[in-house]
Each structure stands twice: as structure tokens, then as C-alpha cells.
Amino acid sequence: MPFKIPFMPEQASSMAGEVDALTLYLVAMASFFTVLVAAMVIYFAIRYRRRSPDEVGGSFDNSALLEITWTVIPVLIVLFTFVWGARVAFRLYRPPADAVQYYVTGKQWMWKTQHPTGQREINELHVPLGQPVKLLMTSEDVIHSFFVPAFRVKADVLPGRYTSLWFTPTKTGRFHLFCAEYCGAEHSRMIGWVTVMEPEEYQAWLASVPTQGSPTAAGERLFAQLACHTCHQDAAGAKGPALGGLYGRPVALADGRTVLADESYLRESILNPAAKVVAGYEAVMPSFQGQVSEEGILELINYVKSLPAGGSASVAAASEGAL
Amino acid sequence: MSRTGTAETNYLNAQHGLKSWLLTLDHKRIGLLYLMGVSFFFLLGGIFALLIRLELLTPQGDLVQPDTYNRLFSMHGIMMVFFFLIPAIPGVLGNFLIPIMIGTRDVAFPRLNLASWYIFMAGGSITLLGVLAGGVDTGWTFYPPYSSLYSATNVLTVGIGVFVNGFSSILTGLNFMVTIHRMRAPGMTWFRLPLFVWGHYATSFINVLGTPVIAITLLLLVLERAFHLGIFDATKGGDPVLFQHLFWFYSHPAVYIMILPSMAVISELIAAFTRKRVFGYHFVAFSSIGIAVLGFLVWGHHMFVSGQSVYAGTAFSLLTMLVAIPSAIKVFNWSFTLYQGSVSFDTPMLYALGFIGLFMIGGLTGVFLGTLGFDIHVHDTYFVVAHFHYVMVGGTIMGYLGGLHYWWPKITGRIYPEFWGRMSAMLVFVGFNLTFFPQFLLGYMGMPRRYHAYPEEWQVLNVLSTAGASVLGLGFLLPLGYLLWSLKYGKLAGKNPWGAKGLEWTTDSPPPTENFRDAPVVSEEAYDYAGAGHGDGGAPAPARAH
């Protein structure tokens, strides 16, 4: 927008302008109806004010034409509003294919973030200008909500599942990050900053932050440490299904259902393995609830995602063989 | 109209003593019991609101501790929603007026009616106990897992209090439904009913069908907290979002439990102070039913960012748009009633006109929030806070105060001072807008709700809001003073001080215990100001059988 509209927060993402355009339409629509009704009421109230104590009103008290008019026109307007709003929302919900995934864990009362390259931050998130960013988020305790007004994005962050949101920053600077879902005593201090940097600056910043390696590498260490490989291996007769090439593929379950192996499925299978048992396997895996942190689970998932399809011993093949 | 002399006995002086009040089966006295109950809880909720606004005067969060602040906004919401907004109009005005308006002696089940009040007071007392023990800090929404596992406050006590209170709503709803179906006077057909009765009829349906769901939900929460059942606990395979679905399945219709009775009052006020039949009577009546039905299908719009699928969000957005239509129909019909009316500007009418303005803004911003792409940004911000206060304070309380002034002469037999009435209506309107309009702007700028401290750039708007709240508070306190004053010093009202239509204006003020000295028979439409048989300009009573 060429001029600054008062009371609008800064527009710093690719979607901010679209949301603001929708807002301006809504304000214009509402103003039109408010002024129309206010003018009608004020005019009638003055024009037909009571002039003698005994006066009564007229008998014109219904009109099908008027009723149809003031039913049909609002119906058309709200349907138009709905369509516009839904179009904006679908874009807000669906990240572009080239979005880079970052990780967010909420807990009372801080935001923990992690870069795809492994750098961790607290109550801060640095991202490069112009790069579509997708956040994969979960909570360690209660429900939180990740909200950056300048980007016009918000999504609740829930315990026990992953939610996500995305944005493409279009302006460098520091932008408020708030928790928008009430989460207890220090809710209003569960705030931070998203810093948008020029890509070169961002690379320099990344290099300056010590890291223990990428989440994938960390996940690999954790995988070994928890001895996952004793069961999950590419061998006939293994107790657990092999994990190579698993991510993003449909998995046949013992109860006949098929589920997509996404982040939520992988997470559930680590914490509550009995919930969805792969066809051809026994429910022998213990739960890792309480043994792995939310960050650890994300790292494990990252590692599993990185595993290449392992040929004949892949999950799908194994389950087909068992059937 | 044979007995024009001063009535010797009425429902107020028929019996004396505390026992005659606490054991009364008279719907009018029960209405007054509710008046005392809801006024107390309104005052309490108002004090909490005042402290919230004082805290937000400065950005640092320096007046009270965060813990205290969280309890203040939670108790404000719980007191106002469950113990004032929901019971106020049906409990006070509905109880007093429905039997009189349909021309009968009492509600269908007078004992049940008294029991409803006791249940309301019991629920309120249990909740109050929770407040005195330190309150609750979950917000009025009680979202788990915060409420079930993390909050260290009196969630059990307050949850049980609200749970108990729900039965009062259910039983009152049941009582009104049966009364309206079975007890109408001869000639009082469905389409001769005052719109006040239609509005309460629709509300009763929501109360009876919706309230059991919040009861079950709160019970589950109490069990979850006490025994760790795991229904809403993700670590035990439960789902915290399930609670939100159950909670809003009631709590969205509850918005209509609060606003429909107010709309019902507004229809009466507009008719009386234009001396004209409400425009499009049938459309206004059926729009109440439409709101009641559609209101059950839109709860998911409270959950657009909760992780619910975008397809569910889209469906709820569409349904939310549709629920705006019956409200729009009402507003247009009320406004058009003024056309060719005989408009006077007494206090109740000022409240009614104020209602139209504030409810317009509340309703239209509801359309904003139903718009999926817009809601994501403002969800859980002050925009939402402003919106629902425009509906609940701008809508419900304007209607309640307008109605209380309009029927005050009937309830007490005395007239309140008109000048002070108009002053209070103006103060409430101005104070309200000053309090809540800046919150729309704060919300769009990104200020999240339930924040004890906030960034400094938002202070100016918060100061305006707090200033408005003090004007609003004064506007609410004034009636408390002059209405009480009028009990003793107000002018005697006579049967029909407004020259209004409706059976309640044909009987004495205050009415006798049995409501009518001669059982009424109805032979004309509602609000038949311009109809045949009218001519004396004053207060033509509906024809009666003698």
C-alpha cells in the first residue's frame, strides 16, 4: 500500500496485504450498513416525532417487497464475504511447496525455536527475507497460540499434536511475537520477536550461532541412544517395520486401516505405539512417553524423514509380505 | 375497566415478611428475587471489570500481580455470563411479564419456578465460595489442559457452581415453554403474542437443548481434574480440542440465550414508543426461531485457529454468515417501525435506539469474525473482546436496562425520574463506545486478549478505554440510585403511563397477585395502535369479556 492507514499493524509478510484488503472491504461494507440504518433511524425519529400526547402511529406495518429486499441483499453480501474470506484463508492455511520448515515448541512461558540447520533460540526466531517459512509447532504443556501481527498469521500450538503455519517475510526488521491463547500466570510475558534479515546477513548470523548439528544428525544420535535400531531394521524377521522411505507414504495397519505417515503419525507411534500398529507386526514396542522431549521427538522424526527408501525391506513391502 | 379506584391489594402488599418472599410462588415476586440476585452478581462482575481496566491503564502490569489479574478477568467473565447475562432478562422481566402478557395467573409450574431461583442462588453461592477461596484463573472458557492439569486455583468449586446454575436455566426454559403453549388466554393466538413472548419462547428452546451440553462438559472437566480420567489429556490419548467443541456447542448458542431476550424487549420498546405495530411482525417472530436453530450450527467459528481442518472452518464460516441474516432482518424491521410512527424519546426508547446502534456494530463485526481469512489475524485479540462486548453489553444490557425502565412503573407502581433516566441512557451509550471502540483498533493492531501487560505503543487506546469504562460505570450506577429512590418518592404510575398496548398495561400497577381482576379475553392483534376500536388516544384496553 502506498500510504499508511492508521491503526493497521505493519505489513511484513506476503499475506498481510491480502488480509488488509479484506479488512478494508469489511470496514466499508459495515460502515455502509451502519450509516444507512443510523440515517434511517435518525431521519424517521425526527420526522415522525410525537407531536401531541394522544398521537398514535400509522398502520403501514408490513411489506413483502421490503422484507425480500432486506433479506436477499444481505444474503448476497454475506455469501460474497464468505467466498472472499475463504479464499484468503485457504492461502493462509496452505504453505507453498518451497517453504523451509522450522520448529517451534511452546511451553509455560517461552517459545523454543529451532532452525532446519540446528540452531536453537528462545523467544526469538531469525528468518531470511523472501524465504517462505513453515513452522511445525507443538506444546509441552498447555495450549498456546503463535501470533505475529505483522505477518497476519496465527495458529494454536497444542500438546500432543503438530500444527503449522507459514509466512513469507517481505520486510526486514523485528516483529512482535505473542502467545495468543491464554496459558497461565505469565501468559502476557510469553512474547518474543521474529527478526527478518537479508539472506546474506541471515547466513552470517547462522554461522555465528553454535549448533550441535542439524536436527537430523541429532535425531540419528538419539535413534542410536534409544536403541531404536534393534527392532527397526532392514532385515527379515525384524520386530519392527523398517523406516526407510516411510515418510509421506501410506501405511497399512493391522486393523485394516491405512494412514499417511506424516509427522503426527510418527509422533504418535513413538509415544503411543499401540494406537496404530503396522500390519504384520506385534504391538511389542514400549511407549517413549516421558523419555524423549518434544525437541527430541522432532529430531527423531527429522531423522526418520531423512532415511532413504530401503528397497525390499521398506515398510510397505514388509507389510505386504506379512499379509 | 370497572375498578378505576386505587387498588387496595397488589402482589407487593398482599403478604408481608421475609418468609412470604422466600417461599413465594408468585412469578412476579420470583422476578424480583431474580432482580436482587442478578443485580448483586452484576455489581460483583462490574467491580472485577473496573479492576481490569485500572490495571490496563499502564502497559507494565504494575497494579496487581499477573496471577491476580488472571483471576479478575476469569471471575468477571464467569459472573457476567453465567450469573448476569444469561439469567437477567428471562429471570427478571420474563418471569414478571410472560404470564401477564399472555393473560394468565402464573407460569405453568410455580413451584418449579421458585426452585429455579434457589438453584440459581445455590450455583451462585458455590461459585462465590470459590471466589472467596481465591477464585479461578482459567478464563470463563475453562480450556483444558490448563484448567484440568495446570491451574492451581478453585476450578472444581467454580465448575460445580456453574454446573448447578445450568439447571436453573433448563427448568426456567421448560417452564416458559409449557406456559406459552398451555396457558394463553382465550383469543391469544400464537400470532397475537407480543414479540417479547416469541423471543423468550425461542430462548427457552436453546436453554432446554443447549444447557445440558455445558453441564456434561463441565462435569467431564471436574472428573478429569479430580480423577485424571484422560478425556481431554493428550498424554493419555485424550483430546483437549474435544473440550472446545463441547464447550462452544453450548456457549455459542448461549450468546443467543443472552441476546434473544434483549431483542424481545427491544421489539416491545420500539412498538410502545412509536405507538405502532412492529413492522413485519411475522418476520421478527420467526427470525427469533431462525436464530435459535442456526445458532446451534456455528460453534466451530470459535476454533478457526485451534487446529480444526480448513474444510470444517469453511463450513462453519458459511453457516456463521447465515446466522447474521435473521439479526439483520430484525434490525431493518425495527428501524422501519419508526416510519410513520409517533416517536417519543423517553428513557426506554433511548436505550432501544442505543441498542440498535450498538447491536449493528456488534452484529456486523460478528460477520467480520465469521470471515475465515479475517478471523485468523484477530482471533484471541481485543477485536474479539470488543465484538462480544458490543453484543453482550451493547445488546443485552441496553435491552435489560431499557426494559427495566419501561416496566418499572408496572413492577413497582412508581415512575422513575425521567431526566436522570435519560442521563443514564446517554452516559451508558457514550461510555460504552469510548470503552469498547478503541478495543477494535487494539485488536487489529495485534493486542492479544487476557494480557496483564502489553507493549507501550498501545497505551493511548487503553487509556481511552479505561476512561470510557468509568463513564460507563457511572451510567450503570445512576439507575441503582434513582430507581431505589423512586420506590418511595416516585410519582404513582397508574395502569398505563406510556399509553402502550399489551395486556400488562390493562391491569393495575403493581398488578394484583392474580394479575387480572377479570380474566382477559383477547380479540385484537398485538400492538394494534392504529386498529379499529381505537379512538380515545390514550390507552385503549384490549376488549374484555364481562
Chain B residue whose CA is closest to A287 = B235
B535 touches chain A (CB under 8 A): no
A19 touches chain B (CB under 8 A): yes
Task: Locate A102 and state its grid cell.
Answer: 522450522
pLDDT band at A319 (very low <50, low <70, confident <90, very high): very low
| pLDDT for the residue A323 | 37
- Are A103 and A165 spatial neighbours (Cβ–Cβ below 8 Å)? no
Chain B interface test: which of A108, A182, A287, A291 (most B C-beta within 10 Å): A182
| pLDDT for the residue A3 | 64
B515-528 pLDDT tens trace: 999 999 999 999 99
Q: Is pLDDT of A153 > 80?
A: yes
Residue with cell 431461583: B117
Main-chain phi, psi angles of B322, to 5 degrees = -70, -30
CB pair distance less than 8 Å for A61 and B280: yes
B70 touches chain A (CB under 8 A): yes
A163-167 and A133-139 beta bridge pairing: antiparallel
Instruction: Report domain A1-48+95-210's class.
Output: mainly beta
A180 touches chain B (CB under 8 A): yes
Q: What is the ipTM of this complex?
A: 0.92
Q: Which among B280, B324, B361 has CB closest to A78? A: B324
Q: Which among A41, A82, A90 has CB closest to B310? A: A90
B236 touches chain A (CB under 8 A): no
- Are A102 and A136 spatial neighbours (Cβ–Cβ below 8 Å)? yes
| pLDDT for the residue B543 | 35
Q: Is residue B311 part of a domain?
A: yes
What are the DSSP calls for A164-223, one per residue?
EEEE-B-S-EEEEEEE-S--STTGGG--EEEEEE-HHHHHHHHHHS--SS-HHHHHHHHH
Q: Is pLDDT of A315 > 50?
A: no
- Name the strand (E) or helix (H) holding B193: none
Q: Mean pLDDT in runs of 10 for chain B (546 residues)?
A: 57 93 96 97 96 96 93 97 97 98 96 98 97 94 94 94 96 98 96 97 96 95 93 89 96 95 97 96 95 95 92 95 95 96 96 96 96 96 97 94 97 96 97 97 97 95 97 96 96 94 95 94 92 45 35
Q: Is pLDDT of A213 > 90?
A: no
Q: What are the structural domain ranges in chain A?
A: 1-48+95-210, 215-322
Topology, domain A215-322:
Cytochrome Bc1 Complex; Chain D, domain 2 (1.10.760)
In total, the C-beta contacts within 8 angstroms joining chain A to chain B are 289
pLDDT band at A310 (very low <50, low <70, confident <90, very high): low
Q: Is residue B77 part of a domain?
A: yes
- Name the strand (E) or helix (H) holding A148: strand A144-148
- B453: distance to nearest CA of chain A, Å? 6
Chain B residue whose CA is closest to A272 = B237
What is the distance between the alpha carbons of residues A164 and A146, in angstroms, rounded to a whole number?
A: 10
Chain B residue whose CA is closest to A22 = B374
Chain A residue whose CA is closest to B137 = A184
Q: Is residue B116 part of a domain?
A: yes
| pLDDT for the residue A215 | 87
% chain A with pLDDT above 70? 95
Q: How many structural domains does chain B have?
A: 1
B459-480 pLDDT tens trace: 999 999 999 999 999 999 999 9
- Are B459 and B479 spatial neighbours (Cβ–Cβ below 8 Å)? no
What is the distance between the alpha carbons of residues B306 and A13, in angstroms, rounded to a whole number?
A: 22
What are the DSSP calls for B415-436, one per residue?
EPPHHHHHHHHHHHHHHHHHHH
- B335: distance to nearest CA of chain A, Å? 6
A272 touches chain B (CB under 8 A): yes
CB pair distance less than 8 Å for A82 and B451: no
Interface of B with A in 301-360 (CB under 8 A): 304-307, 310, 313-314, 317-318, 321-322, 324-325, 328-329, 331-333, 335-345, 353, 356-357, 360
A174 touches chain B (CB under 8 A): no
Question: What range does the domain containing B170 cover?
Answer: 27-506
CB pair distance less than 8 Å for B321 and A58: no
| pLDDT for the residue B2 | 42
Give B466: exposed, middle or buried? Use CB within 10 Å, 0-12, 13-18, 19+: buried
Interface of B with A in 99-158 (CB under 8 A): 137, 139, 143, 145-146, 149-151
Q: What is the CATH number of the domain that holds B231?
A: 1.20.210.10
| pLDDT for the residue A2 | 53
CB pair distance less than 8 Å for A85 and B313: no
The sign of the dihedral angle between the CA atoms of B358, B424, B340, B276 is positive
